[in-house]
Amino acid sequence: MSEISRVTVIGAGVMGSQIAMLAAQAGCTTTLVDIDENRVDAAVETLRRTMARSVERGRATAEEVGAAFELLSTSTDLSEAASDADIVIEAIIEDLGAKRALFAQLDEIARVDAILATNSSSIVSSRLASVRNPARVCNMHFFNPALVMQLVEVVGGDHASEETVARVVGLAKCMGKTAVVVRREIFGFIANRIVGAVFDEAISLLEAGVATPEEIDTAVTLGLGHPIGPFALLDLTGIDVNVGIKRLEAQETGVTSRGPSRTLLELVEVGHLGKKSGRGFYEYGAR
């Protein structure tokens, strides 16, 4: 099984930039790619501040962080950045059309033996596997914030080879993560399916007038030991983001009832998107 030493991450958002940092910390020569040079520069500056705080808190040494940044480079040239990578990790918007277009490009650019992984939390990689070598395509799903959260879900499917899954699991371990192999493709994988069920039930209880968001969150945190209640978590991740996920779930499963609830749609309609907008199920002040 060949070692992964050259990593390209596409998408300089929060997830992509942190995944790139993890790869560099694992000793891989890493390139972070985005079409927007300003976004790439901003991502690196944010990483520098984040890693400086890690040093201050004793989670890493200055030498370790410096060595990681020596291995991390940025680019706006996809062809150059992906042509010699052992693995390309896609972390762009959660849109099937955009991801398919990108994977079609990567099929022409990347080595035929390079792994093509998507960080998608819901779109299974078989939807992106129309490439010369579909056995090298899989999901490598990190959780936000990737630098902190320990879990990585690795999803193969009938198209992905056992070697591909094993190599991706190995890379996750080198990054200091715990990898869980999802043995069959299914919308939402494991963790998000479970938290999605919690969201659905919490909203159902709210709409039935059983309890308020505050009371439901208190019951979940104190009664079940969850670190954050479902409504606070919906606010944190973004009401609009969750509406998009529920719409995609209905589309992917063919079950219209799996779409977004009336409550979520009403919040989005009035611009209450959660913490980022200053108000969702809770109020957070002006943003």
* Residue reference for tokens 């190599």: 167
Which of 192, 242, 272, 277 does the annotation list as catalytic? 192
Cα–Cα distance, 10 to 204 (Å, whole number): 37
CA angle 51-54-59, nearest 5°?
130
CA distance 166 to 172: 10
Residue 239 structure tokens: 């009401």
Strand order in the sheet with 115-118: 72-75, 29-33, 6-10, 87-90, 115-118, 137-142, 151-155, 178-182
The catalytic position among 122, 126, 153, 272 is: 153
Nearest to 46 by CA among 14, 9, 22: 14
DSSP tally for the chain: helices H, then strands E: 12, 8
What is the distance between the alpha carbons of residues 45 and 198, in angstroms, rounded to a whole number? 36
115-118 and 178-182 as β-strands: parallel, antiparallel, unpaired? unpaired
Q: Which of 141, 242, 249, 277 is catalytic?
A: 141
Instruction: Note if 192 is an active site residue.
Output: yes
From 17, 54, 120, 121, the catalytic residue? 121
Active site residue 121: yes
Dihedral sign, CA of 199, 258, 273, 50?
A: positive
Is residue 153 flagged as an active site residue? Answer: yes
Establish whether 119 is a catalytic residue. Answer: no
Q: Which residues are catalytic?
A: 121, 141, 153, 192
